[in-house]
Amino acid sequence: MRILLRPLLSAILAVSVVALSPDYLACQLQKPAQLSPLLGCPAETIFVSKTDAHAHFTSLQHAITSLPRSGAATILIGEGEYFETINVTRRDSVVLLGQLNAETAFDPSGNASTRNLVQIWNNKFVENGIDDAQTAVLTVAPSFNASLIGAGPTGAPLQPLFGNVDFKAYNIDFENRAANFSISQALVTDISYANASFYGCTFASYQDTWYTGRNASTYVVDSIVFGQTDYLFGFGTAWFQNVILANRACGGGIAAWKGTDLTDAPGNRYGAYFADSKIMRSPDANATTITEGKCFLGRPWNDLATTVYLRTFMDNSIEPAGFEPFDSARPVIMNTTFYAEYKSYGPGGNTSMRVSIEHILDDEEAQQFTVDSVFLGKPGWIDYNYAL
């Protein structure tokens, strides 16, 4: 039987697909029981599973804690739900791979929400004065102080250190299940002082789902982000490519970004950038909390905020004005912000009624907003082989 299964497995692994990583697909696909789950994986890959007898660990955090200080590390996560918080402090490369089933991984009608077999979740939310960062399901930061978000337009103090230079996650659902329509901040990610990229993942909460922190650079592709209030926020530089922004309700803006005076990172183009993506009402949105013309594309967390939408579909849940001031205490969007759109389309993509401070980019202006220009060079920590 073992001999017969190997040619079948080879044929499955040779299938050419899109929206999966050819570098890791052989490792990610579940294997027949007679074969090692690590067949096709990079050398020294660690296997985490709650049910498989081949597992090195049953907890992902325990696996991460076991890693040596130096050297690239790959962790394969077996199918299942993992109730834990993940904290990555090491500097060297970490790759997290969610297992995939060959019967669903290649379905051309599938997406991250239907294909992924691994769910990592927790249910922490802001209470009793804790920092927002302490609610995150996934934290990639070099220290506790570096992960802190702080309050106000300037946030937590700048830290003189940097963490992971190359964190990657593939085909994993990250979810904060404490969240609902009325609860306070409940983060899914906190990526601070680090480089991180995500492929075919989902991120689900309501308020403050996604945070790209100080001096952080993040790249998200072929993924889904669920949220309600300021659910993409941060200090750093974040590029979202071919993502779905799923509005569970409308509160504040979809993106609430901060900028800095660049004294700590001269020339860095801090901001949130969305390309070739979709904004739409989430399937689980409550009809009484989200109505046509209520969701703003963003609001300025401080007066140096940057948010740019490129070739993005917008459904009728988008407010025609596009952007709004932060609150009644700061009722004006200052001209030090930079809000821009290029070739938005769909019912909410009509830019004729946008706030006057917004930039509607022409073809030439839009050319300055690419992955390489935003990150000030071609990032070596992005998996360019991940096909779309």
Mean pLDDT over 292-305 rounds to: 85
Is residue 384 over pLDDT 60? yes
Cβ atoms of 352 and 319 closer than 8 Å = no
What's the pLDDT at 129?
A: 85
Extents of the domains making up the chain: 111-374
Residue 376 φ/ψ region, left for φ over 0, alpha for ψ in the -120 to 50 degree band, beta for the rest: left
What's the pLDDT at 287?
A: 61
Among candidates 65, 59, 102, which has minimal Cα distance to 77?
59
- What is the largest distance, in Å, between two alpha-carbon atoms of the chain? 71
Return mean pLDDT, the chain: 89
Q: Kindly report the CA angle at 361 between 358 and 364, in degrees rounded to 5?
A: 155
pLDDT, tens digit (0-9, with 9 covering 90-100), for 34-92: 999 999 999 999 999 999 999 999 999 999 999 999 999 999 999 999 999 999 999 99
Number of other CB atoms surrounding residue 264 within 10 Å: 13
Q: At a CB cut-off of 8 Å and minimum separation 6, what does 385 contact?
A: 21, 22, 23
Is residue 292 over pLDDT 60? no
Is residue 108 over pLDDT 90? no
Is residue 264 over pLDDT 70? no
Region of poorest pLDDT, from 27-36, 290-299, 322-331: 290-299
What's the pLDDT at 17?
A: 39
Question: Which pTM value belongs to this model?
Answer: 0.92
Q: 298: which 2 tokens? A: 């963003």
Report the CATH superfamily, name and number, of domain 111-374. Single-stranded right-handed beta-helix, Pectin lyase-like (2.160.20.10)
What's the pLDDT at 261?
A: 61
Is residue 6 over pLDDT 70? no
Is residue 8 over pLDDT 60? no
Q: How confident is the model at residue 288 (pLDDT cuts 50, 70, 90)?
A: low
DSSP 8-state code for residue 18:
S
pLDDT, tens digit (0-9, with 9 covering 90-100), for 138-196: 999 999 999 999 988 778 898 999 999 999 999 999 999 986 655 679 999 999 999 99
CA 186 → CA 11, 101, 178, 181, 383, distances in Å? 43, 30, 7, 11, 29
pLDDT cut 90: percent of the chain above it: 72
For strand 86-88 and strand 46-48, is the pairing parallel, antiparallel, or unpaired? unpaired
pLDDT cut 70: percent of the chain above it: 88
What's the pLDDT at 180?
A: 65
Is residue 291 over pLDDT 80? no
What's the pLDDT at 388?
A: 61
Among candidates 323, 322, 311, which has minimal Cα distance to 363?
311
Q: Kindly report the CA angle at 316 between 313 and 317, in degrees rounded to 5?
A: 100
What's the pLDDT at 361?
A: 97
Is residue 263 over pLDDT 80? no
Region of poorest pLDDT, from 91-105, 133-147, 316-330, 339-353: 316-330
